[in-house]
Every structure is written in C-alpha cells, then in structure tokens.
Chain A
Amino acid sequence: EAGVTQFPSHSVIEKGQTVTLRCDPISGHDNLYWYRRVMGKEIKFLLHFVKESKQDESGMPNNRFLAERTGGTYSTLKVQPAELEDSGVYFCASSQDRQSNWDTDTQYFGPGTRLTVL
C-alpha cells in the first residue's frame, strides 16, 4: 500500500511569490493533517481536514496560507505571498476515521516538502 506522498520534495522561491504544496493521503484515510517545522523549532500543527471539511485550522499562521481538499482526496496548501519566515519543512499526515477509537488512530506522515523562501 502506498504511503502519504507529497509534492514537490523541495521548493525554492523568492519572497512575494506563490507556492502550492500538494499532499496525497493514504487511500481511504478521511483525516488529513498539515504540520510545519521551521528551523530550530518543534513540528507544529497547521490544520486538519475530515474528508473535504476543515475540522480545525487553529494552527494556520495567517491569511497568506490557504488549504483545500476538494473532493476529500488530495489536499493543497498555498502560500501567497510567501515571506522569509515561511521557510521550513511542511509535513502532511493522514489517518483513518475511526470515531469509536480515535485516540489510537495512528497518523502516518509524508516525506515533507522543504520550502526555502529567499
């Protein structure tokens, strides 16, 4: 079974440009999460989709970040316009939707997209 995939693996852009990151979750996983690790800091939660709906977007840093999950399959995270402090590694994770046992629902991570804003 394929794991979580992310594209691109690396992106180098200039300040002010737009970048779109893509995540394909494990097939059949209703939950999709975005996390980010900036240099020297811990991995931090950005947002959570259940199918196509945003369940929790409390971690989104500001309105320059827009996440979508049309059709409840893959997700995109757009940064527009990018700023220097947006540099970091963006991870996507997915998990099954087992409402009766959510507390042991493992989140599987993708390899991440390393974003560098110059």
Chain B
Amino acid sequence: RKEVEQDPGPFNVPEGATVAFNCTYSNSASQSFFWYRQDCRKEPKLLMSVYSSGNEDGRFTAQLNRASQYISLLIRDSKLSDSATYLCVVQGAQKLVFGQGTRLTINP
C-alpha cells in the first residue's frame, strides 16, 4: 500500500467549475501536510500547507482530518491557469512523502 494515496484522475472540468481532490495517508505519526502543484516538466511548488482547522487561500481551501488520515483540496471558480498536477504531500522527520498526483485540466 502506498503511504500517500490520491484520486487517480485525470480531472477535466470546465472553466469556472469547482473541483475537489482527496488524499489519504497511512502513517499516523505524520506531522505536516501540504498540497504542491507541478506544471508539466517543471518542479513541484508549494501551493499551501494544510492544518486541522482548515485553511483558505483565495479560491483554494484545504482540510485535514487527522482521525481519518484524510486531506482534501477544493478549488472554486477554476481558471485555465489552474491546469496542473496536484500533489498531496505528507511530512514526517523532515522528508516529504508524495502521492502520485492528480492531473487537472481546465477547459475553456
């Protein structure tokens, strides 16, 4: 079983739609949680950290449920520029553990 599992995707949605990604992790000792974004043939870039209280950054909302070991990302009013691969990432003892990523394409 993978340490971090994500929706396989790909997701193809029209511009303006709301899209949700889900992720589960297996290591209950994990300390920190993130969503990274990776554009084609580019490096991963931090999109946002994820906290138990939930956090929002503009059109993006992330939630963490430690009891269920579940992380989510919601993108509202999606833009063409949101097209990318979204990586669910868990941190324990400083190293990052990545999910395989979910590819999102926003269609005009």
Contacts and interface: CB of A to CB of B under 8 A. Distances in A.
B49 A104 contact: yes
**Dominant secondary structure of chain B at its interface with chain A:** strand
Interface residues of A, number: 25
A105 B31 CA distance: 12
A102 B91 CA distance: 10
A112 B42 CA distance: 8
A40 to B, nearest CB: 9
B97 interface: yes
A48 B2 contact: no
A43 B44 contact: yes
Contacts of A91: 43-44
A37 B46 CA distance: 17
A103 B34 CA distance: 11
A15 to B, nearest CB: 24
Contact of A55 (B43, B87, B94): B94
Nearest to B92: A103
A109 B45 contact: yes
B100 interface: yes
Interface of A: 31, 33, 35, 41-45, 48, 55-56, 59, 91, 93, 102-112
Question: What are the nearest 4 A-B pairs in CB distance?
Answer: A109-B43, A43-B98, A45-B95, A42-B100
